[in-house]
């Protein structure tokens, strides 16, 4: 595999995340600054297969750093999972001379990039674009800070109405396999309890905790639930609590996809810009098939196969702190 990269493609794949546009902008402008040709690939791997690829200029990425979503669109491609689909994608890249790829997405996107790069002679760089923050090798993923701030803002507003009516609110946040949005937003909003996929949920402990608070006349309570919690998310937790605590006024709020959208925070814009810049530098200097992350504010490079095998971990201190501060 040659280290000399002259034409690079950039795509966004999987779930959208605020900050993806800032990363696209950084990749395009860094590549053009260094004399590379940059191509935008629409709808992720589907666009590679369908040959939906266009040449980018600096103007292609003007006025997008503040926008949520992704100008390149995103999709999940079943066809790319088959060798024939990847072969077709490769042929579309080769006819343009594209010899480097920047993939902005989550672990599924990285698995595709790793397999594609192994089978063909296209070096790939991954940028962790997922609101779930569930990829090891980086302190933050693109979109997480915006998503958790959106959740915090919404939960703060829910607390106001909970206070006005002396209610218990069960708030479901996103996180099918990871509880980071729930952990961060729950701690930041003073939740009584946070239920996440990474730990077993003891419903009896939760009911006892809420019963004790009711006896102490603490009538405003918040329970933050990740959608992937083992009990089945916010609606199921709310149903159980209504059944077991009939004297409490209990409501359920599902925040849903508002957490995916919106203008990225300052942190996400800077994170994405730095990662995009270093993705291009990595391709140019021969550092291939890695994910670009940031740990302790320094750039960190993790092999793609490691990034897809490992998950971000958290300590039990998080849940202990939440419990103590809500007492």
Which residues are known to be catalytic?
A: 132
Nearby residues of 100 by Cβ (< 8 Å), 6 or more positions away: 5, 7, 8, 9, 122, 123, 124, 125, 283
Q: What is the DSSP letter of 100?
A: E
The DSSP string of 26-39 is: HHHHHHHHTT-EEE
Enter the tokens of residue 195.
Answer: 């239920």
Q: What are phi and psi of 76, to 5 degrees?
A: -105, 130
Count Cβ atoms below 10 Å from residue 315 Cβ, excluding itself. 8
Distance from C-alpha of 98 to C-alpha of 162, rounded to nearest angstrom: 55
Q: What is the DSSP letter of 142?
A: B
- The annotated binding site for ATP is made up of 15, 76-77, 106-109
The DSSP string of 109-130 is: HHHHHHHHHHHSS--EEEEEB-
Enter the tokens of residue 65.
Answer: 């750093």
156 alpha-carbon distance from chain centroid: 22
Please report where in the chains the tokens 């090891």 appear, as a residue.
Answer: 136
- The annotated binding site is made up of 15, 25-29, 76-77, 106-109, 130-132, 159, 167, 174-176, 190-192, 216, 218-220, 227, 251, 257-260
Burial zone of 247 (CB within 10 Å; 0-12 exposed, 13-18 middle, 19+ buried)? exposed
Edge-to-edge strand ranges of the sheet holding 124-128: 53-56, 37-41, 7-12, 100-105, 124-128, 290-295, 298-303
- The annotated binding site for ADP is made up of 25-29, 159, 190-192, 216, 218-220
Distance from C-alpha of 70 to C-alpha of 74, rounded to nearest angstrom: 7
Enter the tokens of residue 103.
Answer: 């993939």
């Amino acid at each position: 595999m040659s280290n000399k990269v002259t034409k690079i493609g950039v795509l966004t794949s999987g779930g959208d995340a605020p900050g993806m546009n800032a990363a696209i902008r950084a990749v395009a402008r860094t590549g053009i600054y260094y004399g590379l040709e940059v191509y935008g690939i629409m709808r992720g791997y589907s666009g590679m297969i369908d040959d939906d690829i266009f040449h980018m200029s600096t103007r292609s990425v003007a006025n997008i750093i503040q926008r949520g979503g992704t100008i390149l669109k995103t999709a999940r491609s079943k066809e790319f999972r088959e060798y024939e689909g990847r072969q077709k994608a490769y042929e579309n890249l080769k006819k343009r001379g594209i010899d480097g790829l920047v993939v902005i997405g989550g672990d599924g996107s990285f698995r595709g990039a790793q397999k594609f790069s192994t089978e063909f002679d296209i070096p790939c760089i991954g940028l962790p674009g997922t609101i779930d923050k569930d990829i090891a090798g980086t302190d933050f993923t693109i979109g997480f800070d915006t998503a958790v701030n959106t959740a915090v803002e919404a939960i703060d507003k829910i607390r106001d109405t909970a206070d006005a009516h002396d209610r218990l609110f069960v708030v479901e946040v996103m996180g099918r396999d990871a509880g980071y949005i729930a952990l961060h937003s729950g701690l930041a909003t003073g939740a009584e309890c946070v239920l996440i996929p990474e730990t077993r949920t003891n419903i009896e402990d939760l009911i006892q905790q809420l019963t004790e608070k009711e006896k102490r006349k603490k009538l405003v309570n918040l329970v933050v639930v990740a959608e992937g919690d083992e009990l089945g998310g916010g609606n199921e937790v709310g149903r159980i609590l209504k059944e077991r605590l009939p004297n409490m006024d209990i409501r359920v709020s599902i925040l849903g996809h508002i957490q995916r959208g919106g203008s990225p925070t300052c942190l996400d814009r800077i994170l994405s810009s730095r990662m995009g810049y270093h993705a291009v530098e990595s391709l140019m200097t021969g550092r291939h098939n890695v994910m670009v992350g940031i740990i302790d504010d320094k750039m960190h490079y993790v092999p793609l196969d490691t990034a897809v095998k490992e998950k971000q971990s958290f300590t039990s201190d998080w849940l202990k702190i939440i419990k103590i501060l809500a007492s």
